[in-house]
């Protein structure tokens, strides 16, 4: 279908195209950009699992503790972006997982939870980064979790299983993605794969440079395809990296985003880049407020990097959103709500690090001392005993997504709640509408309320592609 010819022949277009679901359009291509500029580059930023309360609390922390407004909220207060609410449902549920959510952006179709760009009858929907690669653009992904994880994969590949990360690592090499930065050594390293395949060697044979340390980002050879894998699985949480010396050799999301843009920006045909704060989602699953706020703030720094580049470049569309909500955290009413919230500034580490450092041979004094040292919280004897029961086997160990060591995340977050006034509705994804912002040429295509699949077509329209 020649969408350019179709659009030019229309004076007013509303509703949906019969051949493409939920297509966002302007009256004609000539009015697509307020400054009549074509979108050459697209930077798509996702704070995975970010409920609106996460955005609000990170901004409140930035204002109260850091003395500045957040970058994302600053775009709202300065009226510099188009803004919308987005429905994140999948084909199989009102509550999506990350694979189906990313596939909505990537393939333009809602699919079942757990799959990547695969329809109910096995249809393979061509992922959008492949579409842009076919048109001559460079394409890349940056994430704080495994580069083979569901969100980057949804922009790039087709798979019946989001968990097929060994295969996804190989698919990326076949596609020839230009920049891939994140974690996931487990899926590339021959010594860690069950099949003993050396996937790094595969990439090297295809001309890729391989990065393993933060310092390697300063040694990137310009114009050469790049694979950077900086951790066995996910990268560390931001607050732990800041306070644990052994973790400081891993790059931040801002470090990787800067390097990726620098590597892609001079390509004549432009580039597309996904930037994901994947561990915001993991923090929400754990009801871990320190992890959540500091990784959201790290995402906010990546937002600034993208916006600063787009302001200077003037041909870059920046999309800022999440794929779904998670746990719906929020600050609860109370006489001392602000003071209690501000006490989070005393937290030195994630709950994951704090709880993983407690052992079954701890006594009540040791656990009290440890919690005060790390959170400035004075546990009662009853609270200390309750936590210790999870380690002695008296209390049933907690489960939950990404809780590999069965740590008492929920129990501890309930204790913290008394001191910080932060409440959580669950430890899992939610079906709430989420925030969405767009900046740059093509942002005027954004309507006030959209479905997740609409962004696939918005990107294609913004880049003035003639076919879908």
Packing angle, helices 409-420 and 381-392, rounded to 10: 160
Q: Which of 340, 330, 359, 307 is nearest to 418 (CA)?
A: 340
Rounded Cα distance between 320 and 305, Å, is 12
Q: Is 438 helix (H, G, I), strand (E, B) or coil?
A: strand
Beta strand residue intervals within 69-137, DSSP E: 82-87
CB 111 within 8 A of CB 117: yes
Asked if residues 203 and 181 have their Cβ atoms less than 8 Å apart, the reply is no
Structure tokens at 17: 């195209």
CA distances 190 to 15, 187, 208, 417, Å, are 51, 8, 17, 44
> Structure tokens of 415?
């204790």
Three-state SS at 429? strand
Domains of the chain with bracketed CATH: 35-327+434-462 (3.40.720.10), 350-423 (no CATH)
List of E strands, 80-178: 82-87, 138-146
Looking up tokens 């930023």 gives 45
* CA–CA dist 119, 332 (Å, integer): 41
For the chain, what's the residue count? Answer: 468
- How confident is the model at residue 412, as a pLDDT? 98
Distance, C-alpha 152 to centroid of its chain: 9
- At residue 188, what are phi and psi to the nearest 5 degrees? -115, -25
Distances, alpha carbon 176 to alpha carbons 35, 323, 425, in Å: 33, 25, 42
For 281, other C-beta atoms within 10 Å of its C-beta total: 33
Q: At what angle do helices 364-375 and 381-392 cross, to 10 degrees?
A: 110
The pLDDT value recorded for residue 45 is 99
Neighbours of 333 (CB within 10 A): 8
Torsions phi, psi for 290 (to 5 deg)? -65, -45
Q: Around 346, how many Cα atoms within 13 Å sit in the side-chain half-sphere? A: 16
Cα 75 to Cα 307: distance, rounded to the nearest angstrom: 9
Count of C-beta atoms within a 10 Å radius of residue 299: 33
What is the reported pTM? 0.91
pLDDT along the chain (468 residues), means of 10: 35 36 36 61 98 98 97 97 98 98 98 98 97 97 98 98 97 97 98 97 98 96 96 98 96 98 97 98 98 98 98 97 98 96 98 97 97 98 96 89 92 98 98 98 97 98 65
Q: What is the DSSP string of 327-376?
A: S--EEPP-TTHHHHHHGGGG--S-HHHHHHT--TT--HHHHHHHHHHHH-
Residue 22: per-residue pLDDT: 38
Q: Annotate 7-37 with b (16+ C-beta within 10 A) or e (fewer).
A: beeeeeeeeeeeebbbbbbbebbeebbeeee
Question: Beta strand pairing status for 429-430 and 325-326?
Answer: antiparallel
The total of other beta-carbon atoms located within 10 Å of residue 93's CB is 13
Q: Are the CB atoms for 387 and 370 separated by under 8 Å?
A: no
pLDDT for 464 equals 77
């Amino acid at each position: 279908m020649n969408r350019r010819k179709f659009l030019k022949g229309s004076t007013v277009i509303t509703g949906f195209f019969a051949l493409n679901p939920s297509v966002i359009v302007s009256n004609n291509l000539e009015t697509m950009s307020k400054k009549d500029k074509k979108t050459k580059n697209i930077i798509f930023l996702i704070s995975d699992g970010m409920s609106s309360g996460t955005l609000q609390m990170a901004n409140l922390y930035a204002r109260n503790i850091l003395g500045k407004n957040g970058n994302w909220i600053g775009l709202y207060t300065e009226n510099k972006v188009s803004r919308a609410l987005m429905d994140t449902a999948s084909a199989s549920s009102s509550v999506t997982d990350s694979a189906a959510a990313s596939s909505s952006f990537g393939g333009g179709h809602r699919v079942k939870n757990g799959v990547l760009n695969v329809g109910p009858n096995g249809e393979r929907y061509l992922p959008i980064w492949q579409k842009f690669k076919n048109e001559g653009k460079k394409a890349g992904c940056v994430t704080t979790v495994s580069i083979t994880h569901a969100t980057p994969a949804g922009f790039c590949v087709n798979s019946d299983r989001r968990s097929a990360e060994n295969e996804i690592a190989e698919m990326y090499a076949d596609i020839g993605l230009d920049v891939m930065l994140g974690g996931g050594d487990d899926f590339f390293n021959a010594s860690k794969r069950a099949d003993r395949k050396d996937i790094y060697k595969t990439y090297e044979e295809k001309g890729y440079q391989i990065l393993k340390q933060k310092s390697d980002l300063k040694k990137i050879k310009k114009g050469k395809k790049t694979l950077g894998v900086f951790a066995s699985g996910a990268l560390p949480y931001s607050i732990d990296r800041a306070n644990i010396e052994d973790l400081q050799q891993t790059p931040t999301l801002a470090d990787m985003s800067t390097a990726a843009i620098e590597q892609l920006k001079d390509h004549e045909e432009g580039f597309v880049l996904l930037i994901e704060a994947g561990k915001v989602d993991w923090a929400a699953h754990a009801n871990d407020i320190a992890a959540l706020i500091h990784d959201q703030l790290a995402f906010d720094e990546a937002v600034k990097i993208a916006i600063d580049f787009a302001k200077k470049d003037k041909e870059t569309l920046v999309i800022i959103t999440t794929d779904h909500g998670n746990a719906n955290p929020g600050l609860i009413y109370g006489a001392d709500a602000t003071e209690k919230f501000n006490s989070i500034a005393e937290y030195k580490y994630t709950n994951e690090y704090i709880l993983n450092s407690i052992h079954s041979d701890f006594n009540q004094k040791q656990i009290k001392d440890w919690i005060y040292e790390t959170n400035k919280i004075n546990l009662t004897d009853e609270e200390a005993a309750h936590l210790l029961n999870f380690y002695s086997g008296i209390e049933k160990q907690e489960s939950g997504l990404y809780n590999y060591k069965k740590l008492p995340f929920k129990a501890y977050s309930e204790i913290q709640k008394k001191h910080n006034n932060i409440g959580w509705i669950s430890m899992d994804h939610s079906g709430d509408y989420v925030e969405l912002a767009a900046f740059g040429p093509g942002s005027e295509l954004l309507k006030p309320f959209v479905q997740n699949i609409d962004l696939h077509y918005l990107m294609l329209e913004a880049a003035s592609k003639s076919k879908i």
